[in-house]
């Protein structure tokens, strides 16, 4: 909206305010219809119903949510939903989510997701789709689950992997980097204040998770009133804010043991940057991944900045192909923001088409694994 609003802007702004007052909001928050096809401990697997007017085609897509975040990250609102976009393209679409975490789940560690939840979801999706291989797409921590699962379970029917906004070097994360020296001063017996707190609470409670997510975009939080005032005539902008508010309000808690592993190993120890993660009785090596892998980094992501995401690439030396894309947006915006419709989603469409309907995956080409192709101009510049 201009500093001196035009008449049509005044009319649009008045209409938006009236609609919000009368109907409670502008965003169409109806979820895409789906059916529960499998479930287990903190695992619900859904199949989204195909659009009646679109013929399904290609291999199925499994969307993997992170811990603590509601599954609506993939289905934010009508007109700005990755699920809706995939269905309109005729892609068989599935999603695995975990539901509410309670105190009784405090003993569940990362192994539960890497050994049970994601492998079971991949196998069930493949069977439900007629034995076809599965494109697995994980956002944030869901990307870590996806990659560790693929590295540790090479027998899974996977067509390709996609990690969206997944940090692999937390020393590059602006929020965490200044705190790591202080965290490492924690008591040597592992019973420092943070450890005692999450053990007593059985994990990280939802309000704390919500606060941490909001802190990652603190500047936007502070400038929000001005942004709203200057966009009162922009229905799509206001609808997106409403959808993001709903997403943030529905954050879940972290199970105690999983949060402890994330805190001690990933934040304090920064083990992901080494490409090797000790989980249970074994060591998972990212270099074991042979599947084609697409990696997205958000240009304005405060939780998983470009440098933190790019740290993954050297560990994908055995992957059949690696594509790295820098796209506009913050941590959620790069996945399902308004600009994602013309950036992230378009690249994902190309990737799914490229690696669908193959008779058999080709073996990695020896001698070429250290040389990678970078799909966007921003990505190519990083390779120089």
**For the CA atoms of 16, 21, 23, 27, what is the dihedral angle to 10 degrees?**
40
**For the CA atoms of 97, 103, 107, 110, what is the dihedral angle to 10 degrees?**
30
* Angle at alpha carbon of residue 136, lines to 130 and 140, rounded to 5°: 155
**Residue closest to 264 by CA, chosen among 149, 176, 179, 184:** 184
Contact call for residues 276 and 284 (beta carbons, < 8 A): yes
Strand partners, 47: 35, 94
Other beta carbons within 10 angstroms of residue 52's beta carbon come to 5
Other beta carbons within 10 angstroms of residue 306's beta carbon come to 18
Which has the higher per-residue pLDDT, 351 or 56? 351
User: How do residues 273-297 score in pLDDT, each as one tens digit?
Assistant: 999 998 888 999 999 999 999 999 9
**Residue closest to 82 by CA, chosen among 96, 93, 66:** 93
82-92 average pLDDT score: 97
Contact call for residues 256 and 202 (beta carbons, < 8 A): yes
Residue 280: what pLDDT? 80
pLDDT at position 375 over 60: no
Helices in the chain by DSSP H: which ranges? 7-23, 82-88, 110-111, 118-128, 141-152, 180-183, 193-201, 206-215, 218-230, 235-249, 256-261, 306-310, 333-336, 344-354, 377-382
Q: Between the CA of residue 328 and those of 112, 315, 338, 339, 342, what are the distances in Å?
A: 33, 25, 10, 7, 10
Q: How far, in Å, CA of 171 to CA of 155, rounded?
A: 33
- Percent with pLDDT over 70 in the chain: 67
Q: How far, in Å, CA of 136 to CA of 142, rounded?
A: 10
Q: How far, in Å, CA of 238 to CA of 361, rounded?
A: 45
Contact call for residues 356 and 92 (beta carbons, < 8 A): no
Q: What is the pTM of this model?
A: 0.79
Close Cβ partners of 110 (under 8 Å, ≥ 6 residues apart): 145, 148, 258, 261, 262, 279
**Residue closest to 144 by CA, chosen among 101, 117, 114, 184:** 114
The β-bridge relationship of strands 61-64 and 134-139 is parallel
Which has the higher per-residue pLDDT, 348 or 55? 348
Q: How far, in Å, CA of 384 to CA of 381, rounded?
A: 6
355-371 average pLDDT score: 51
- Percent with pLDDT over 90 in the chain: 49
User: How do residues 217-253 score in pLDDT, each as one tens digit?
Assistant: 544 555 556 665 666 767 788 889 899 889 888 876 6
User: How do residues 304-353 score in pLDDT, each as one tens digit?
Assistant: 999 999 999 999 999 999 999 999 999 999 999 999 999 999 999 999 99
- The crossing angle, in degrees rounded to 10, of helices 118-128 and 141-152 is 80
- Residue 165 tokens read as 């906004």
Residue 180: what pLDDT? 45
Strand partners, 298: 327
Residue 265: what pLDDT? 75
Other beta carbons within 10 angstroms of residue 269's beta carbon come to 18
Q: How far is CA 134 from the centre of its chain?
A: 17
């Amino acid at each position: 909206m201009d500093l001196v609003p035009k008449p049509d802007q005044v009319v649009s702004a008045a209409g938006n305010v009236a609609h919000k007052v009368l109907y409670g909001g502008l965003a169409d928050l109806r979820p895409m219809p789906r059916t529960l096809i499998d479930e287990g401990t903190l695992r619900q697997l859904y199949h989204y119903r195909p659009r009646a007017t679109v013929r399904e085609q290609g291999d199925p897509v499994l969307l993997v949510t992170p811990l603590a975040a509601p599954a609506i990250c993939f289905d934010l609102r009508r007109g700005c939903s990755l699920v809706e976009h995939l269905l309109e393209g005729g892609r068989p679409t599935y999603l695995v989510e975990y539901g509410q975490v309670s105190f009784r789940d405090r003993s569940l560690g990362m192994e539960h997701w890497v050994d049970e939840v994601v492998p079971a979801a991949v196998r069930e999706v493949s069977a439900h789709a007629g034995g076809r291989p599965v494109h697995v797409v994980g956002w944030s921590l869901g990307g870590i689950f996806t990659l560790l699962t693929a590295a540790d379970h090479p027998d899974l029917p996977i067509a390709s992997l996609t990690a969206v906004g997944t940090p692999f070097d937390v020393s590059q994360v602006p929020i965490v980097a200044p705190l790591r020296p202080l965290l490492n001063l924690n008591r040597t017996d592992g019973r420092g204040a943070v450890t005692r707190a999450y053990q007593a609470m059985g994990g990280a409670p939802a309000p704390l998770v919500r606060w941490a997510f909001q802190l990652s975009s603190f500047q936007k939080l502070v400038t929000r009133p001005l942004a709203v005032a200057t966009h009162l005539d922009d229905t799509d902008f206001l609808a997106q804010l409403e959808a993001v508010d709903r997403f943030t309000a529905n954050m879940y808690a972290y199970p105690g043991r999983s949060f402890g592993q994330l805190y001690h190993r990933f934040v304090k120890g920064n083990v992901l940057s080494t490409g090797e993660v000790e989980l249970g009785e074994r060591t998972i090596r990212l270099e074991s991944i042979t599947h084609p892998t697409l990696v997205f980094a958000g240009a304005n992501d405060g939780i998983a900045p470009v440098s933190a995401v790019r740290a993954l690439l050297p560990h994908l030396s055995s992957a059949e192909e690696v594509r790295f894309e820098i796209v506009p947006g913050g941590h959620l915006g790069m996945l399902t923001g308004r600009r994602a419709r013309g950036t992230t989603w378009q690249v994902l469409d190309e990737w799914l088409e490229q690696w669908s309907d193959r008779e058999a995956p080709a073996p990695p080409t020896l001698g070429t694994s250290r040389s990678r192709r970078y799909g966007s101009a921003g990505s190519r510049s990083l390779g120089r």
